[in-house]
A and B are shown apart, each in its own frame.
Chain A
Amino acid sequence: MNHEISPEPVRVGPATIAFRLSDAAGNPITGAQVGIEADMSHAGMSPKFGGAKEREPGRYQAHLEFQMAGDWVILLHITLPDGKKLERQIDVRGVRPN
C-alpha cells in the first residue's frame, strides 16, 4: 500500500489522503470498504472517524481534518471484498500549525 497526503507539508485544517490497495501480485484491490480513524499521538484527544471512497480501481481517497499541530496516526480499517479484515497504520509526523 502506498499513500499520499495533501497539502504537503501537512498543516492544521482539512487534508486529503489517497492510497492504493493492491494484492501480493500487485493487482489493485477493488470494492474494499475502508474506514479511517485519525488519532493524535498523545492522550486527551478523541479520534476522528470517516470513510474512504474508491476513486478509481484500487485507488481510495478520504478527507479528514487535522485539528491540532503535532504527530498524528491514521488507522485504516479495511474490509476486503471477501470479508477479510485488515488494519494499516500511517504515521503523519509534524502536522504544522497554520
Chain B
Amino acid sequence: MRVPGLGHLFRWRYARPVLQTPLLALSVVMILHGLFGPTLAPKNLATTLSWLHFRGLLVLVLLCAGNFFCLACPFMLARQAARRFFTPRLTWPQRLRNKWLSVGLFVLILFTYELFDLWSSPWWTAWLIVAYFLSVLVVDGLFKHASFCKFVCPIGQFNFVASTLSPFEVKVREQDVCTRCHTKDCIRGRREPISDLVTIRGCELALFLPSKVGNMDCTFCLDCVHACPHDNIGILSRLPASELIVDPIRSGIGYFSRRKDLAALAMVFTFGALLNAFGMVSPVYAVERWLGRRLHVNNEFPVLGLIFTFFLVVEPFLLLGLAAWLTRAWARSPRALLPLAVRYTYGLVPLGFGMWLAHYCFHFLTGLYTLIPVTQNAIASLGRPFLGEPRWALTGLPANVVQVIEIGFLVLGFAGSLVVTYGLAEDDSPDKPLRAFLPWAAVCLVLWCASLWLMFQPMEMRAMLMSG
C-alpha cells in the first residue's frame, strides 16, 4: 500500500469497481462470442480466454502476488449493481456455514469439465459463465454478506487455498493500534455518527483483522482497508505457506486442525490437480476403455465417476490413512487418526499448487499468443478488420521450453510440501519430528513422482473420451 501509484490506487475507495469493470466487459464479450461466434474452440474468445489465459494468469498471480483475481471479480460487480435494487434479508443457514457445499461444487466443476469437454465447447463455456453470474445473483440476492464467496464459489475456494502460498496478505500493520481501537470499523463497517448507517462496508467474510491469520477466506476486496479509520491495514509481504504450518485460532475460520471441511478442500485441491492433468494425457483413454469393457458400458458418466471416486476418495483415503497410522505408530503422536490426517493434509497444498501451476502454465504459455489471431478474427467477423487479418501462425512458447518451467513448478511444490510437513511434524511431535515427518514425506514423494510422470505423458485431448 506504500508502493507509489499502486498504494494510491488500492487506498482509493473505488479501486475495486475500476478493476472489476474491464473484467465484466470481457466476460460479456466472452459470453457473446461463445454463444454466437465460431464453434471451434481454438477460434473462440470464450474458450481461449477461459481455458488458457484466465487459468494461467490466475495461478501465476496467486504465486507471485495474492488473491487479486477475487479483488477484480466481475461477478461481484454484477452483485453490487443488483443489490441497489434488492436487499438480501436472509442469513446463510447455519448447517451450510462450512466448505462442504463448495467442495462438492469444486468436484462437480472438475467432473463436468471432463464429462462435457468444456474446453472444446465455446457454447458450454459461455453458459458456464452465465450460470456463474446467475448463481451469484440468486445466492447474494437472497443471503446477506458475501455468502457466495465464502460458502459457494468453487473458483474462490481454489483461490483461497492457493493464496495460502502467496507472498502477500491483507493484514494489520501494528496490533497496538487495533488494541486501542474501539470502533472496529474493519468488521462492523464505517458508520455515520447519528444515523448509524454503514457508509463503508466492513469485512463481509467475517474476518476480524486483528485476529485474522493468513489468506484463507480473504478475497482482497479491501473493504477493511477502506473502513479502517487509522490506515492500519495494508497488503503486506509475508513468508508464503507459513500460515499452513501454524495452527492458531483464526478469525472467521477457527482452527485449521479442527476443520475437516477445509482439509477436504485442501485434499480435493491437491488430488484434483493430478486428476485434472490426468484427463488430458493418453493413458486416461486406455483406463477408460478398460473400465468401459469391464463394466460393459459405452456411457462416459459411470466410467468417469469411478475414476473420480478412485482419485478423490480411495487414493487419498489410503495414502493419508496409512501416513496418519504410521505417524501415530512411529512418533507416538497424541492425536487420533482423523485429526492427524486433517492436520497434515494442509502440507500437501504446495504440491497440489505446483501441479496446477505446471498444468495451467503449460496451456497458457504454449498458447500465449493465440489470443491475438482469435481477437483479430473476432473483430474481422464484425466487418471491420482494423486489427488486420488473423495471424494464425502465432502460438506461444515452444513446448520444450515450457516443460522446463513445468518441472520447476513441480520441484517448487515438492520442496514446499516437504518444508510444510516437516514444520507440522515439529509442531505435532517435538520429540520425534523426523518419525512423524517420514510417512508424509513418502506421500509427497509418491504424489510428486505421479506429477512428473503425468507431465511426461503425451498430451491428448479428446472431446469423446469413450471413442476409439
In the complex, what residues of A have CB within 8 A of residue B47's CB? 42-43
Interface segment, one of B6-14, B140-148, B245-253, B454-462:
B454-462
CB distance from A48 to the nearest CB of B (A): 9
Known: A45-B395, A69-B282. A94 touches B51 (CB 8 A): no
Of the residues A12, A41, A42, A44, contact of B396 by C-beta under 8 Å: A44
A68–B460 CB distance below 8 A: yes
B42–A40 CB distance below 8 A: yes
A94–B468 CB distance below 8 A: yes
Q: Does B392 contact A (CB under 8 A)?
A: yes
A49–B120 CB distance below 8 A: no
CB distance from B280 to the nearest CB of A (A): 8
In the complex, the number of residue pairs spanning A and B with C-beta atoms less than 8 Å apart equals: 94
**In chain A, what residue has the closest Cβ to B369?**
A46
A44–B460 CB distance below 8 A: no
**In chain B, what residue has the closest Cβ to A10?**
B468
B458–A44 CB distance below 8 A: no
Of the residues B41, B119, B370, B459, contact of A68 by C-beta under 8 Å: B459
**In chain A, what residue has the closest Cβ to B374?**
A43
**In chain A, what residue has the closest Cβ to B465?**
A94
CB distance from A5 to the nearest CB of B (A): 14
A43 to B285, CA, bound (A): 20
**In chain A, what residue has the closest Cβ to B46?**
A43
In the complex, what residues of B have CB within 8 A of residue A49's CB? 392
CB distance from A37 to the nearest CB of B (A): 9
A41 to B374, CA, bound (A): 14
A97–B460 CB distance below 8 A: yes
In the complex, what residues of B have CB within 8 A of residue A45's CB? 42, 367, 370, 395
Of the residues A68, A71, A94, contact of B120 by C-beta under 8 Å: A71
A44–B370 CB distance below 8 A: yes
B367–A44 CB distance below 8 A: yes
Of the residues A41, A46, A97, contact of B463 by C-beta under 8 Å: A41
User: How does the 8 Å CB contact mask read for A1-42 relative to B, with 1 for contact and 0 for none?
Assistant: 000000001001000000000000000000000000001111
Q: Does A93 contact B (CB under 8 A)?
A: yes
User: How does the 8 Å CB contact mask read for B111-154 relative to A, with 1 for contact and 0 for none?
Assistant: 00000010110000000000000000000000000000000000
Q: Does B270 contact A (CB under 8 A)?
A: no
A73 to B121, CA, bound (A): 13
A93–B460 CB distance below 8 A: no
CB distance from B175 to the nearest CB of A (A): 47
8 A Cβ contacts from B46-66 to A: 47-48, 51-52
Q: Does B393 contact A (CB under 8 A)?
A: yes
CB distance from B119 to the nearest CB of A (A): 5
In the complex, what residues of B have CB within 8 A of residue A46's CB? 42, 370, 373, 392-395
Q: Does A58 contact B (CB under 8 A)?
A: no
In the complex, what residues of B have CB within 8 A of residue A71's CB? 120, 461-464
Q: Does A70 contact B (CB under 8 A)?
A: yes
**In chain A, what residue has the closest Cβ to B368?**
A44
**In chain A, what residue has the closest Cβ to B458?**
A97
8 A Cβ contacts from B436-464 to A: 458-464
Q: Does A85 contact B (CB under 8 A)?
A: no
A13 to B38, CA, bound (A): 27
Known: A43-B44, A46-B373. A97 touches B282 (CB 8 A): yes
Known: A71-B463, A93-B464. A42 touches B42 (CB 8 A): yes
In the complex, what residues of A have CB within 8 A of residue B392's CB? 46-47, 49
In the complex, what residues of A have CB within 8 A of residue B282's CB? 69, 96-97
A42–B120 CB distance below 8 A: yes
Q: Does B43 contact A (CB under 8 A)?
A: yes
User: How does the 8 Å CB contact mask read for A51-69 relative to B, with 1 for contact and 0 for none?
Assistant: 0000000000000000011
Q: Can you list 24 A-B contacts (CB < 8 A)?
A: A39-B42, A41-B41, A41-B42, A41-B461, A42-B120, A43-B42, A43-B51, A43-B370, A44-B363, A44-B367, A45-B42, A45-B370, A46-B392, A49-B392, A69-B460, A70-B460, A70-B461, A71-B462, A71-B463, A94-B467, A94-B468, A96-B460, A97-B460, A98-B458
Nearest 5 CB-CB pairings of A with B: A44-B367, A94-B468, A69-B460, A97-B458, A70-B461
Known: A39-B43, A71-B464; 8 extra A-B contacts, CB below 8 A, are: A41-B117, A42-B42, A43-B47, A43-B363, A44-B48, A44-B363, A69-B458, A95-B460
